[in-house]
Chain A
Amino acid sequence: MRAYILRRLLQSIVVVFAVTTIMFFIFRIVPADPTAMMVERGMSEEARQALLKEWGLTGSLGTQYVSYIKNLMVFDFGESFFYKKPVWDVLLPRIVNTLWIAVPGLLMGAAIGAGLGMVVGWSKRGSATERSGILVATIIRGTPSFIIGIALLAIFSSWLGWLPGFGMGDANGKTGIARFLQGDFLIHLILPVLAITIYFLPENLLLMRSGVAENRTEDYIELVRAKGVSNSRVAWHAGRNSLLPLITWLFPALAETIAGIVVIEIVFSWPGIGRELVMAVTRQDFPLAQAAFFLLAVMIVVANFAADLTYGKLDPRVVYR
């Protein structure tokens, strides 16, 4: 077990390393001169050189690469061009903000989706519940996340006027955890979280549904029914077994899900890491963009790692080697 975790950790590090390397080359090679866009804004040659130096863009590609990796290893992303502060100082609060909407949204989406998926999967083949469940889930799955956001804004914010849909509310001068534990913030939290929930729900539903629909014809289900347990208990067995493929899918799916969250942050003007990434790219703030991208990639690697460990907990057949 420990050997497995170590090996898996090593693998993750290799993947992060590879992603970083790709990033290095994208940033060095794609814009022939990354400062070109600043130059147009009337940058002096000295300032340009200073900027290049600051970004580690002087010297040979080899030395650049080494210093780049060195910096990343200690999470030193340099200084944001736009904010004139260390990138880390800009991003850390953004990450916290993103987690505030992403974690509850994803958890609720997965839980409600899996629950409904069980109901739909357990309903009779060809029944109204099954067919409508599949149709509605597929349509929501086909709805881009920003349209879910726009719809929620239109209904709850503009039309009913119940909930705010812009930003995180007033900080009222509070910092730390107190900043988040005030009514105004929590009310602002509702719509983005709801959007993420709705966005993440249908795929969970559909996967759970096909898992349960597949499992219900398995021999072991017949034996469970023969034992005379309640119908919901039989469904529980099918659901428990369908959880495994769901988990395998769930964590890697975060890669795609993050995409939706980025856009949802923009719709609700939520100052998270995704929105910061977009703004950094449009402002040509490359150190910031690069770091935001790097952190998102690390999140996915960590999620995959977590998936493997969870899977082992849920499936006794998994042997860690």
Chain B
Amino acid sequence: MTTLVKYTKQSPSRRWSWLTDPLAALIRDRFALGGLIILAIFFLIAIFAPLIATHPPFESAISDTGRLMRLQPPSADHWLGTTTFGQDVFSQFVLGFRVTLMVGVLGAIAVGVISTLFGVISGYFGGWVDDVLMRITDIALSIPTLPFAILAVGLLGPSINNIILVIVLLFWRNGARIIRSAVLTERERVYVKWARTAGASHVHIIRCHILPNVFRVIFLWVTMSVAFAVLTEASLSFIGLGDPSTTSWGQMLNTAFTSGNLRSAWWWVVPPSLALVMLISSLYLVGRAFEEHANPRLRAK
């Protein structure tokens, strides 16, 4: 992963270029733009999910004759049909946007903050802090991710909080490494050295010189972390270790799978699958544009 993030210098004189340059690159890249649009729509749906949902997600529909409406195909009342328990698929699906994006965003922000903290401290100050941190990541990187998540969630109990905790435990390590190597490059730049000899404080140097220049690396890592977090949550839920009080997409697929309806009830299976693919792919497309923009060897002349 580390080697993928190459690194170019930005002119220190253009104050906002650290933010505007990458954004401009994202908008120029058609794939990334498509990804951004999908992400925006997903966020809107997540925010307004309770208004959009037509039924309470766990309410079982009962027909006039008093029978459970199991596995109904899409109809005017149930736009995406019903589950094997007679629950409304559409409402579960729409509320799933919320759960998924919440896990993704909260997880990624926590990962981003911790990675940046460790990466900057380790890269900027070096010394024993750096040594210790690098040894820890060496070890942490040998831990198989999902098996660890399975064990941890299995032991701690399946809840959204625990899932987010596990995501943070899993993904800070790669991020810290990547950000650290970016900081290392930045630290050696002439203007950073000048600032140092001119007596600027560490905090000032980090805030004004280091952070803006490693911003794209942090942003790239946070973007990827959203994807990893969503993927981890979905996988855990699909396995059956999801938070039973929510309706995430992974969980919907798990219920469909364990109840043996994976092959027949397409209306139950296709929407969450498609949404997961669109969400994660969009994040990767945005991340890819960022990576490419940061890599001078790949940028067109």
Interface residues of A (CB under 8 A from B): 15-16, 18-19, 22, 26-27, 30-31, 125-126, 131, 134-135, 138-139, 141-147, 150-151, 153-154, 157-158, 206-207, 210, 213-214, 217, 245, 248-249, 252, 255-256, 258-260, 262-263, 266-267, 274, 277-278, 281-282, 289, 292-293, 296-297, 299-301, 304
Contact = CB atoms under 8 A, between A and B. Distances in A.
B301 to A, nearest CB: 9
Given A134-B31, A144-B234, A217-B297, A277 B273 contact: no
Given A138-B31, A153-B262, A214-B295, 16 more contacts: A15-B138, A19-B139, A135-B285, A142-B282, A142-B283, A146-B234, A151-B273, A154-B269, A214-B298, A249-B1, A255-B143, A258-B146, A277-B151, A293-B144, A296-B147, A304-B142
Chain B: interface residue count, which band? 35 or more
A134 to B, nearest CB: 7
B74 interface: no
Contact of B273 (A138, A150, A301): A150
Chain B facing A: main interface SS: helix
B242 to A, nearest CB: 12
Contact of B280 (A22, A142, A255, A293): A142
B73 to A, nearest CB: 16
19 contacts: A142-B227, A143-B281, A150-B253, A154-B269, A210-B4, A213-B298, A249-B1, A255-B143, A258-B146, A259-B145, A259-B235, A262-B150, A266-B239, A277-B151, A278-B240, A278-B241, A281-B150, A281-B155, A297-B142
A143 B280 contact: yes
B146 A301 contact: no
A255 B145 CA distance: 7
A214 B297 contact: yes
Given A125-B300, A138-B284, A262 B147 contact: yes
Nearest to A157: B263
B297 A259 contact: no
A135 B31 contact: yes
A272 B223 CA distance: 33
B208 interface: no
A135 B279 CA distance: 14
Contact of B281 (A138, A213, A282, A289): A138
A266 B241 CA distance: 13
A282 B143 contact: no
B238 interface: yes
A199 B139 CA distance: 26
A157 B266 CA distance: 14
Given A142-B227, A150-B253, A263-B238, A255 B281 contact: no
B57 interface: no
A126 B277 CA distance: 25
A147 B276 contact: yes
B231 interface: yes
A57 to B, nearest CB: 14
Contacts of B253: 146-147, 150
A258 B147 contact: yes
Interface of B: 1, 3-4, 31, 138-139, 141-152, 154-156, 227, 231, 234-235, 238-241, 253, 257, 262-264, 266, 269, 273, 276-277, 279-285, 288, 292, 295, 297-298, 300
A281 B262 contact: no
Contact of B144 (A30, A125, A300): A300
A281 B145 contact: no
B177 to A, nearest CB: 11
A240 B59 CA distance: 59
Contacts of A289: 151, 154
A138 B146 contact: no
A210 B297 CA distance: 9
Contact of A297 (B144, B239, B284): B144
A249 B3 CA distance: 9
Contacts of B143: 19, 22, 255, 297, 300
A259 B146 contact: yes
Contacts of B141: 252, 255
Contacts of A150: 253, 257, 262, 269, 273
Contact of B156 (A30, A131, A138, A153): A30
Q: 6 tightest A-B contacts by CB?
A: A142-B281, A259-B146, A281-B154, A142-B280, A158-B263, A214-B297
A296 B150 CA distance: 13
Contacts of A296: 144, 147
Contacts of B152: 26, 30
Nearest to B283: A142
B239 A263 contact: yes
Contact of B3 (A31, A135, A248, A293): A248
Nearest to A154: B263
B239 A139 contact: no
